[in-house]
Each structure stands twice: as C-alpha cells, then as structure tokens.
C-alpha cells in the first residue's frame, strides 16, 4: 500500500499545476487501525513499520502525515505514533 500511496502522490504532482499541488497540506496515512463506532473502540492491528513508511512517503512529497481513527487510542498509543514521525492525528466528534 505504501508503494501505491507514493504512486498516487507522484501522479498528482505530475498532473496538477504546481500551485494546486502545493495547496495539498496533508497525506492521510493508515497504520492498520480502524474504528468500531458501535462499540466505541479501535479495531485492527497497528503496524509501526507501515506507519513509518507512510510518513516517509508524505514527507518525501513535502506533506504532513495525518492519521484518522485516533478517537479511542490511549495517550501512550498516540505518543507512539508521534514518536514514529506522525505529524497530526484526527479525533472526530463521534461521542
């Protein structure tokens, strides 16, 4: 998936006007975690390696990395993501 993400960003960079591509600020990354809103918990299996690779792709294109599905993570889980290079995390008003 990291390779596909890089190809997508390269395609956008190659086909958008420079100022339009520069207006893109964030690349939304996936570390393997999803949401179970009914039970108010995170699901899936976190991959530190995947997150680091996705962050690297974002940064190579001058973008900030942003992960969705931070709603039910612990403080330690959030800190771990930032320690791995994540720039921002989305916490939605689900509750």
Each residue's pLDDT tens digit, 36-89: 777 777 777 889 999 999 999 999 999 999 998 888 888 999 999 999 999 999
Please report which helix (H) or strand (E) contains residue 88, including its range.
strand 88-89
If one counts every other C-beta atom within 10 angstroms of the C-beta of residue 27, the result is 22
CB 54 within 8 A of CB 29: yes
- Model-level pTM? 0.84
Asked whether residue 95 is assigned to any structural domain, the reply reads: no
Number of structural domains found in the chain: 1
* In a domain? residue 94: no
Domain that holds residue 67: 2-89
Residue 46 maps to a domain = yes
What does the CA dihedral 41, 42, 43, 45 come to, rounded to 10 degrees? -150
- Residue 21 in any domain: the answer is yes
Query: What φ, ψ does residue 79 adopt, rounded to 5°?
Result: -60, -40
pLDDT tens, residue by residue, 3-37: 999 999 999 999 999 999 999 999 999 887 776 77
């Amino acid at each position: 998936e990291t390779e596909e993400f890089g190809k997508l960003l390269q395609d956008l960079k190659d086909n958008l006007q420079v100022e339009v591509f520069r207006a893109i600020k964030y690349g939304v990354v996936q570390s393997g975690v999803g949401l179970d809103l009914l039970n108010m918990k995170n699901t899936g299996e976190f991959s530190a390696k995947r997150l680091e690779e996705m962050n690297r792709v974002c940064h190579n294109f001058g973008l900030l990395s942003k992960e969705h599905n931070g709603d039910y993570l612990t403080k330690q889980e959030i800190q771990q993501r930032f320690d791995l290079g994540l720039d921002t995390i989305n916490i939605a008003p689900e509750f």
